Chain A
């Protein structure tokens, strides 16, 4: 076979094989879009209120519950540990001696999530009920979502997670991104996220999750009647985590 024929045959075979694979996947793929078209979810818009005046600095009930419920990886190395929810301490101004503030940080489940906008495979998307979620079976691990998130709320599985405390929930392999999904699996079944339940059990009652689209819901009442703040709403992301006492 001449060199030219060989090139032609190789090129033709490659094109036929790849176009076949893509055609099959495109025909069988469900086009989720970065806003899920699930109409059953569309009637709700989940949000969260964190009352920092009730949150006790030494308490870690919500952090522990989240880690156990969702098999969130902890390697003992701050560079690679994953925190769907984390506690930080803030102080106002440079060199200020103002008292510290305890802060709970998690995914803000933005109505205009930059992480979902940049995801090249729509693995991160906003459900119709406002929860921003990651499909770990589709994520290619490009980490563009981590770059785009202005809240440091997204984490990457740099290593495999050895622990698997909750066998009912999946753990992630290394190579995919993740963040808080507001325990969507629990909300879908009518129960509250693990962090909220743990906080209530501990007697603090600092966390409240509810439907922001329902004017009669407790969360709507709190957001309406209490001075609340969100983190950097000026960025235009429409975060849905509200803070009391920030």
Chain B
């Protein structure tokens, strides 16, 4: 049977139940956002010393997730691996949705959301990473739209061109997002490695997400997918993880080695809750255990184990996004080297941050909104193939 794309019926009970659950979360997120707009951002638990919280963590996480989706579509569009054609449409659609999720997270984090749609474009500041990035993000979304169009209408030449452009653009998007922090003045932000390590973690998390979604979606909709297609993605994921670990090592070794950064490095590595997320969530849970699973012959050739490793990677990269954003803020700027601040009306030293309920509702709300868009997309557009087999694919 020849592979062709089709939309789902969307009449099943479970599909409608899914829509209801997602709509409920989206409404909860909207209510939380309305509460934040009405009362002020203090309800999120952020303070003058912790001006960024979960929404920024989630924004960079979502933006990173969109990368891997594009990588999967690039396997077909750029590198001509026709066996990955069945996933190309869904991968580009997801890449677009996660960028939308990133933008929604940033939008709902602003103090004056009413000004976000006009001011940043009218009073553009070429020197601000916050000005440059929205251009990259919107460009990314537009490229995805053209890319999807090319895929839907089977425009082979345009697909190759736009897929290559999207691939290169995605590198800019993720480097730019990493640069928001890497080019920052905070002791635990400043790092020219951060844009590059951000790309590596983005590729890992996005590939992992695609593995989970492909396997789950094909199973739920009773479609066949060849194991080898998933297992190859698992091998690709293991290489991404190696790069992530290398960057983590290089970055932290530098901080520990340089005398003036050593104290901050110790705080980062062993200083509190974020250190637990770094070691437990990212290094062990998000990198070493998945690498063990993926490199071991028995587990690396089992789709179930690969999916389990992919879930761990996605959780690990979420921890990585947290430890990019938060420790840089809870660690105080060193204003008086060699002196201690022993009294001040504001918290000048180390501070704590705890995720609040409105923030969680907003984050889940954003996820639910793109979940709804994804579910609706499956019904409206011909995104899903009838099957995904290695042999018998036609370019």
A151 at the interface (CB under 8 A from B): yes
Contact (Cβ within 8 A) A81 B111 = no
Task: Give the chain A neighbours of B112 by CB distance below 8 A.
Answer: 139-141, 175-176
Total contacting residues, chain B, CB less than 8 A: 55
Contact (Cβ within 8 A) B52 A143 = yes
Q: Which of B110, B118, B128, B344 contacts A22 (CB 8 A)?
A: B118
CA–CA, A86 and B48, complex, Å: 14
A235 at the interface (CB under 8 A from B): yes
| A-contacting residues, B327-351, CB 8 Å | 329, 332-348
A-B pair number, CB within 8 angstroms: 184
| B-contacting residues, A165-204, CB 8 Å | 174-177
B185 at the interface (CB under 8 A from A): yes
B170 at the interface (CB under 8 A from A): no
| A-contacting residues, B137-189, CB 8 Å | 180, 184-186, 189
CA–CA, A26 and B360, complex, Å: 37
| A-contacting residues, B304-342, CB 8 Å | 329, 332-342
Question: Known: A81-B346, A119-B125, A150-B335. Is A175-B40 also a contact (CB below 8 A)?
Answer: yes
Looking at chain A's contact residues, the main secondary structure is loop
Task: Give the chain A neighbours of B46 by CB distance below 8 A.
Answer: 158
A56 at the interface (CB under 8 A from B): no
A162 at the interface (CB under 8 A from B): no
Contact (Cβ within 8 A) A114 B111 = no
Contact (Cβ within 8 A) A158 B185 = no
CA–CA, A12 and B332, complex, Å: 49
Chain A 54-90 interface mask (CB, 8 Å, partner B; 1/0)? 0000000000000000000000001111110011111
Contact (Cβ within 8 A) B345 A81 = yes
With A140-B120, A175-B110 given, can you name 8 additional A-B contacts, CB distance below 8 Å?
A81-B345, A88-B343, A93-B340, A121-B123, A122-B123, A144-B130, A150-B185, A158-B46
**Chain B contacts to A: CB under 8 angstroms:** 39-42, 46-49, 51-52, 109-113, 115-116, 118-125, 127-131, 134, 180, 184-186, 189, 329, 332-348, 380
Nearest 4 CB-CB pairings of A with B: A141-B111, A175-B111, A174-B40, A120-B130
